Amino acid sequence: MTDTAAPATTVVFLLFPGITQLDFTAPAQALSRMPGARLVGAAANRDPIATDSGFAILPTHDFASAPQADILCVPGGHGVTEALGNAETIDFIARQAAGAQWVTSVCTGAFLLGRAGLLRGKRATTHWAYTHLLPLVGAAPVKARIVEDGHLVTSGGVTSGLDFALTLIARLQGEAVAQAIQLAIEYDPAPPFAGGHPDRTPGTITEGLKARVYDAAAARMEAALKA
């Protein structure tokens, strides 16, 4: 979907090793269809970026050559814990955010915004398994899939990135454009199970998943945030 009359909008996605690919590709798919959108994938260098899905993605730019974002989006993933300690990455986020119209995150990307000093005094959300850590970066946790606080938009885990993108498209170009894109990608959720969040998932499943994955992952994130 293109429209040469639409204002140009540069969308810069931060890329880093260990990124959750859907945190990036879901909002990218929707935003790429917004009239006037130009998508950029920026990383420390232009080598392939290993994702959590067993394949790599190729950045379009390195940090030095990336254009100024109108929309800055920081995805999450287990690689966030390493990225938190990378001064070049955090500096890139801070510099881009200073000139961006919108500063956004998906999932645990919120903690990278926080490390760059962008969540202090802000309402924010992230993946449900990590929301208790948001005060460590000065944010007030909100139990919601999408949280807007001024020009800051944070979203919950993984699939919420698509909801965030459609919400932002509606803010920028109106609900009709956002609804047309939603229709074009046939985003008509009908999940096979009533779940996807601890509030709607049997407790035994939630506790089992936390024990297998997220208790340790959240502890690693907390240690990285306190380092």
Q: What is the 8-class DSSP label of residue 132?
A: G
The model's pLDDT over 40-67, given as tens digits with 9 standing for 90+, comes to 999 999 999 999 999 999 999 999 999 9
**DSSP label of 200:** G
Does 216 map to a domain?
A: no
Q: Is 18:78 a contact under the CB 8 Å cutoff?
A: yes
Whether the predicted pLDDT of 4 surpasses 60: no
What does the pLDDT read at residue 194?
A: 86
For residue 73, which amino acid is it? C
84 close to 53: Cβ distance less than 8 angstroms: no
* pLDDT recorded at residue 165: 98
- Residue-level pLDDT at 203: 94
Domain count, the chain: 1
| Helix or strand run (H / E) with residue 103 | strand 102-106
pTM higher than the cut 0.75 = yes
Among residues 67, 75, 64, 62, the alpha carbon closest in space to that of 28 is found at 75
- The answer to whether position 23 is within a domain reads yes
What residues are paired with 147 via a beta bridge? 154
Q: Work out the average pLDDT over 75-96.
A: 98
Specify if 210 maps to a domain: no
Catalytic residue numbers, as ranges: 107
Domain holding 95, by residue range, is 9-190
Per-residue tokens: 57:
């993605």
DSSP character at residue 133 = G
In a domain, 221, yes or no: no
Q: What is the 3-state secondary structure (H, E, C) of 70-98?
A: CEEEECCCCCHHHHCCCHHHHHHHHHHHH
- 68 part of a folded domain: yes
Q: What is the mean pLDDT of the chain?
A: 96
Mean pLDDT of 137-143: 97
Percent pLDDT > 90 in the chain is 95
Mean pLDDT of 158-181: 97
pLDDT at 1: 45
* Residue 106 maps to a domain: yes
Residue 30 forms part of a structural domain: yes
What is the distance between the alpha carbons of residues 99 and 4, in angstroms, rounded to a whole number?
24
Here the CATH number for the domain that contains residue 124 is: 3.40.50.880
- Asked, for residue 201, whether it belongs to a domain, the answer is no
State residue 199's pLDDT score: 93
In the predicted structure, residue 5 carries a pLDDT above the cut 80:
no
Q: What is the pLDDT of residues 170-199, one digit of tens each?
A: 999 999 999 999 999 999 999 999 889 999
